[in-house]
Chain A
Amino acid sequence: MNASCAATLTRDADHWVGRFVAMASPCEVLIDHAPASVAQQVLDAVAAEAWRIERKFSRYRADSVVHQINISTGAPITVDEECANLLDFAATLTRLSDGAFDITSGVLRKAWTFDGGDGVPSQEQIDALLGAVGWHKVDWRRPVLKLQAGMQIDLGGIGKEYAVDAAASRVEAIAPGLSCLINFGGDVAVRNTRQDGQSWRVGIESCDRAGTPMRIVQLARGALATSGDSRRFVFRGGHRYSHILDARTGWPVRKAPHSITVAADTCTQAGTLTTLAMLQGENAEPLLQASGMQYWLQ
């Protein structure tokens, strides 16, 4: 447990704001019209769920399931139902994206450090790493997972959105009908509409000017997820390389929009669509249009 396992609750105009840090992102819970005790309960539940998922699926934590899998060096690991569901989901995404999305592509971060600098790896470096990338190389027969030696999995691409939906379910269980907005680093979900019919106003940060919203979306109910390069990118030779790598080539997706925001019923759906769309690069928009969901591009 690190020192950031603390959640603070403050009052802002007509709603509560709970803040904490989880999954390396600032998280907040906005709670509409509730007494302090209920707001605290809700915040505690959301933070607990976020930290639980972080503990369980973070590749950095020695006690996480993902770490166990990543050090298994080819030995079979039996996973629980929640982990199995996530692996099945990831497999579906790999299939839907024809391999561009792949949870085994995490090893490529050894070549790419998206810190705004100009470090771009060589093709040889990437080719060496690509040998350990590819879901088709994984032996996944629920509930047993067997990676080849040198392979790693990283659930970072779907973990945060899943955590938002899981936290929303927890809140619904303890305070049904309560309107609260859960925001884990830009992945947002609202289960129930606000009491007075108003919407929650969510600002989507501008890619050019960090901190100022480019657009305000009124979210009465549902979820928003944003995928974009405003914070993590490599800038070289006049090109901005987004941090989303195409697992088939090892290179960042080309000509992708700077940022995609999608509105959907659940955060998982929204986040998945933004990721899959980004992976399409310049064909992101047709995919978004075909999905029938509302989206905003930058």
Chain B
Amino acid sequence: MKDNDSFNATLAAATCALLGSAVAAPVAAQDAGSDWSFDSALLYYGESDGRVSDFSAAVSALRDLGDERKFSATVTADTLTGASASGAIALDRPQTFTSPSGRAVYTTPAGAVPLDDTFHDARFALNASWTQPLARLYTVSAGVGFSTEYDYTHIGANLSLARDFNKRNTTVNAGVAWSQDDVKPVGGLPIPLSQMLDVDNNSNKLGGSESKDVLDLLLGFTQVLNRTTVLRVNYSYSDSSGYLNDPYKLLSVVDPLTGDTLARVPIGQGPNGVYLFESRPDARTKQSLYAEVKHSFGDPVMYFSYRYMTDDWGIDSHTGEVRLRWPLGEGYIEPQLRYYKQSAADFYRASLVSGSALPRYASADFRLGDFDATTVGIKYGHGTPNGNEWSIRAEYYQQTGSVPSEQIIGNQANRALYPDLSAVIVQFGYRFRP
């Protein structure tokens, strides 16, 4: 027998000559025995200025049992380190805070945006779901989820039903999800709007844990628009109740004229300013309308999505995302762009003014403020001969916020009141079928 390459080439050429211009797409055949497929990812997330950084690993397994029955499970492990902005505002002098455990203090240099005490946290999460046909054209799906970190646990379940119409050109689905989260912060639960006290003074902290329940309803509609375009529109309703505060977030109490944080003299070790723990309502209702489209321009595929969200905390947000996937050799390249804009919650306050009546709810958490965020990124994926794929994704996220001018008092005008955030995200992915 001739050597392999010329054998293969001769055979391929001979077949081509015989079958003429009949173009056959590459074969995709697979032992039904290995109906498992896996997707894995390694992620690095790093914020600038020594803030949060996160390493995480996720593995997802999907088993296709044929007849549209599928089982999937995902395991994720995260380790977070660093600190987020605590909500207190920057000042011309160093600021000292009691750490969340109540046993030590930490200091923020003059002029810097105060960050929480540096923390290390590990999180582990597990999600599993099962899908199967219920009757011709009906598919039912059920899932459970669980996650745990040192001060937080979550369990949840979801159920949804989908029905196809119009020769499967249209699918309508309805789903419900329920979850219960338990918060047990280090150092206890601070009484909302109580003042941050000295080290070892836990009189404003409650022991035990608090919980939060969330109910989600989803109504979705997927429609094939034409041979190259598919659209999905979802309406979601979400109701959270229970403990919705972030137990580590603060507000600074400031002088009504200068806007500087009121000074305080600790007894022993403790905060050198007046800081109050935040307070959020114990219920939140959100609604959102989301639409996404995928369109193929021959080989490249474009993805576009838009989401509008509104809630009873006064937050409205718009999210727009676009991605364009270009084939490149045996792989593809996919640049992506995301723009997000949200308005502040009604009870968002950059700081609290001494002498004014204390509002019922107040939070300086930057995540409830008024900001724009942009993400630019690019993903490259490469297929291997046996149908596996590895990929790499890199993104840059930038959040820029602003505080309403009526909330800026005195010297605060010269300082950055909103802690702008920028982060780099790098992800390696590998998909394979054993």
Contacts and interface: CB of A to CB of B under 8 A. Distances in A.
Complex contact flag A–B (Cβ < 8 Å): yes
A138 interface: no
Interface string B10-40: 1110110111101011111111110100000
A257 B20 CA distance: 32
B167 interface: yes
A162 B204 CA distance: 84
A158 to B, nearest CB: 9
B28 A193 contact: yes
B156 to A, nearest CB: 28
B358 interface: no
B32 A216 contact: yes
Given A96-B7, A96-B11, A263 B29 contact: yes
A280 B10 contact: no
A26 B18 CA distance: 25
A175 B7 CA distance: 35
A85 interface: yes
A222 B10 contact: no
B168 interface: yes
Interface string B344-382: 000000000000000000000000000000000000000
Interface centre among B2, B10, B14 (most CB of A within 10 A): B14
Contacts of B1: 96-98, 280, 287
Nearest to B26: A265
Contact of A223 (B17, B27, B66): B27
A68 interface: no
A201 B68 CA distance: 13
Nearest to A98: B1
Contacts of A89: 14-15, 17-18
B18 A268 contact: yes
Interface string A49-74: 00000000000000000000000000
Contacts of B226: none
Interface residues of A, number: 52
Interface in A61-99: 85-86, 88-89, 92-93, 95-98
A196 interface: yes
Interface stretch (A116-124, A146-154, A244-252, A290-298): A290-298
B29 A218 contact: yes
Contact of A196 (B8, B15, B66, B168): B168
B176 to A, nearest CB: 25
B414 interface: no
A95 B68 CA distance: 47
A259 interface: no
Given A220-B28, A292-B8, A266 B167 contact: no
Contacts of A264: 27
Interface string A186-224: 000001110110110100000000000001111111111
B4 interface: yes
B17 A221 contact: no
Contacts of B25: 191-192, 221-222, 265
Given A96-B2, A195-B168, A219 B18 contact: no
Contacts of B10: 92, 95-96
Interface string B280-303: 000000000000000000000000
A269 interface: yes
A30 interface: no
A290 B4 contact: yes
Interface residues of B, number: 30
B15 A269 contact: yes
A225 to B, nearest CB: 11
Contact of B29 (A92, A196, A222, A273): A222
A169 interface: yes
Interface string A125-165: 00000000000000000000000000000000000001001
Nearest to B31: A217
Contacts of B27: 219, 221-223, 263-265, 293-294
B351 to A, nearest CB: 55
B22 A165 contact: yes
A33 interface: yes
Given A92-B10, A221-B25, A290-B4, A165 B30 contact: no
A226 interface: no
Interface string A268-298: 1100110010001000000100111110100
Contacts of A280: 1
A258 B66 CA distance: 29
A85 B26 contact: no
Contacts of B20: 85
A232 B15 CA distance: 27
Contacts of B11: 92, 96, 269, 272-273, 276, 291
A266 B29 contact: no
Given A85-B17, A265-B25, A291-B8, 18 more contacts: A97-B1, A162-B19, A166-B19, A168-B24, A196-B168, A217-B30, A219-B28, A220-B28, A222-B27, A223-B24, A266-B15, A266-B19, A266-B22, A266-B24, A291-B4, A291-B7, A293-B27, A294-B29
30 contacts: A85-B17, A88-B18, A89-B14, A92-B10, A93-B14, A95-B10, A96-B2, A96-B10, A165-B22, A166-B19, A168-B24, A169-B19, A195-B168, A198-B68, A199-B28, A215-B31, A215-B32, A217-B29, A217-B30, A218-B30, A222-B24, A222-B28, A223-B27, A263-B27, A263-B29, A268-B15, A268-B18, A269-B11, A269-B12, A272-B15
Which 4 A-B pairs rank lowest in CB-CB distance, beginning with the nearest? Answer: A222-B27, A263-B29, A216-B32, A220-B28
Interface of A: 33, 85-86, 88-89, 92-93, 95-98, 162, 165-166, 168-169, 172, 191-193, 195-196, 198-199, 201, 215-224, 263-266, 268-269, 272-273, 276, 280, 287, 290-294, 296
